[in-house]
A = this chain, B = another copy of it.
C-alpha cells in the first residue's frame, strides 16, 4: 500500500472536489482518492507507487494545478 499527497490549487467547491476525484480515480493503479477542500490536499492511495506525473496530469485534466508534487 502506497500513499502520496499533493497540494492542488484552484479547487473552490464540492464540484471541484468531485472533478478531481473522478479524474484521479481513473488513473491506473489508484485504489483511493481523498480530497481536503479547505487545505487543497489530495491524497492518493495505491497498491504500489504511482508515477506522480500521471496524477499531476489527471489533476490538470480536471482543470486544476498541482503546486507541490510529492
Contact = CB atoms under 8 A, between A and B. Distances in A.
Residues of A in contact with B, size category: under 10
A19 interface: yes
A68 interface: no
A7 B26 CA distance: 37
A15 B16 CA distance: 7
Contacts of A12: 12-13
A15 B62 CA distance: 11
Interface string A14-58: 011001000000000000000000000000000000000000000
Interface of A: 12-13, 15-16, 19
Q: Please provide the 6 A-B residue pairs with the shortest distance between their CB atoms, ordered closest to farther.
A: A15-B15, A12-B12, A12-B13, A13-B13, A13-B16, A15-B16
